[in-house]
Chain A
Amino acid sequence: MAGKIRIRAQLDGDTCEVKALMRHPMETGLRKNQAGDAIPAHYIEEVTVTHNDQVVMHSYWGAAVSANPFLGVRFAGGQAGDTVKVMWRDNTGATDEGETTIR
């Protein structure tokens, strides 16, 4: 299956609006399951957005970002057809990435 990131990148004048929806449980480590055992913390720690392989936004997250995280960012200088990528790394070291072209 393709990566679990959905991305849209649309031009609005000279600004490219990027919206990404990631699939991740974003467990805080503070919740318990039905048996009463703590569910280990499992959350995205680092998210990077690139435009034609140049980073436009880099972020560090805590577990307080909601499950199935949504991210919207905007940058100037994009052209229709350019590549936008969103990548994440979580606290277990797992990563994912998704890409789209600017429309």
Chain B
Amino acid sequence: MGLMESIRNTRWLSALFGLLIAAAPSSGEDAGIFDEYRAMFGDDNPAIFVIDEGEEYWLEPQGPKNTSLEDCDLGLGPGVVEGAYARLPRYFADVDKVMDVEARLIFCMGELQGRPSAEIEGYPYSMRGDLGTEIEALVAWLADQSSGMPIAPGQEHVKEREFFTLGEQLFYYRAGPHDFSCATCHGQQDKRIRLQSLPDLTSHEGAAASYSAWPAYRISEGIVRTMGWRMRDCFRQQRFPLLGVGSDVTVALQTYLAVTAAGAPMMAPGLKR
């Protein structure tokens, strides 16, 4: 019950922040066209159901070892979930790697529960029309546990800084049949696809508005999508190869975005069209 109270409260805050941020990139002629539509949703985000499911997954003994994820170390110590999401991606000494939330969860599922990583990596994100996956639910819950906290990815360790640099290079890297890069759509202000405004992810404001709102409930799909999915789908739209869940490429891109967005408060799960 305490959780739901805090969700209700943070959701009001989120709605307020959301309005502020949504107003920020509205300089373009068409920007703001959906403001009225979005405002009518208020703070009623169906992601609350998925948040609850995520917590249940966290506590549910699973896998050959029949253990829960309660001892999973997301960077702030075993079992510490509050604020952990906002500090990711970060370096984990036990694997000598920089990981995002999805990579870390899959690691914990293997380590603590004995579940083969291929099982999760093969189907990390739900298909359109499906019920959500375990990863999506866990990420929604963990992001909610960081709601209102400043985005503060690790940049102390040399590998964390390397990942930022790699992510930045990847962001501008043109490839594929369309000779596209992330920057083609997300490197300038006031770009749009049809009526959809595209954030300039190279600016702090743009990256903050975007990064802080993922994971998000996608109205059109009726499920919560994660930042990892967002990266994968942008890769698909660029006609790049399938982006692996928790891969170095996705972690590096997310590091670049998180560092660019650093300092802004998390307000996920957000609500997207």
Q: Say if the two chains contact directly (CB < 8 Å).
A: yes
State the A residues within 8 Å of B (CB): 1, 4, 6, 8, 19, 21, 23, 25, 33-34, 67-68, 70
A68 B222 Cβ-Cβ under 8 A = yes
Number of A-B residue pairs with CB-CB distance less than 8 Å in the complex they form? 23
A20 to chain B: closest residue by CB: B44
A8 B222 Cβ-Cβ under 8 A = no
B241 contacts the other chain (CB 8 A):
no
Interface size grouping (class) on chain B: 10 to 19
Could you give 5 example pairs across A and B, Cβ below 8 Å? A4-B49, A21-B46, A23-B46, A33-B129, A68-B46
The CA-CA distance from A34 to B130 in the complex, in Å, is 11
B44 A21 Cβ-Cβ under 8 A = yes
B48 contacts the other chain (CB 8 A):
yes
In the assembled complex, how far is the CB of residue B119 from the closest CB belonging to chain A, in whole angstroms?
22
A21 B48 Cβ-Cβ under 8 A = yes
The CA-CA distance from A8 to B42 in the complex, in Å, is 13
A8 B8 Cβ-Cβ under 8 A = yes
A6 B222 Cβ-Cβ under 8 A = no
In the assembled complex, how far is the CB of residue A23 from the closest CB belonging to chain B, in whole angstroms?
5
B127 to chain A: closest residue by CB: A34
Q: Collect the chain A residues with CB atoms within 8 Å of residue B127's CB.
A: 34
A1-B56, A67-B222 known; A19-B49 Cβ under 8 A: no
A6 B48 Cβ-Cβ under 8 A = yes
State the B residues within 8 Å of A (CB): 4, 8, 44, 46, 48-49, 52, 56, 127, 129, 222
A23 to chain B: closest residue by CB: B49
The CA-CA distance from A33 to B125 in the complex, in Å, is 18
Q: Collect the chain A residues with CB atoms within 8 Å of residue B48's CB.
A: 6, 21
In the assembled complex, how far is the CB of residue A11 from the closest CB belonging to chain B, in whole angstroms?
16
The CA-CA distance from A1 to B4 in the complex, in Å, is 14
A39 to chain B: closest residue by CB: B129
Q: Collect the chain B residues with CB atoms within 8 Å of residue A6's CB.
A: 4, 48-49
A68 to chain B: closest residue by CB: B46
Q: Collect the chain B residues with CB atoms within 8 Å of residue A34's CB.
A: 127, 129
B50 to chain A: closest residue by CB: A23
A4-B49, A6-B49, A8-B8 known; A19-B44 Cβ under 8 A: yes
- Sorted from nearest, which 9 A-B pairs have the closest CB atoms? A68-B46, A23-B49, A67-B222, A70-B44, A21-B44, A6-B48, A21-B46, A4-B49, A19-B44
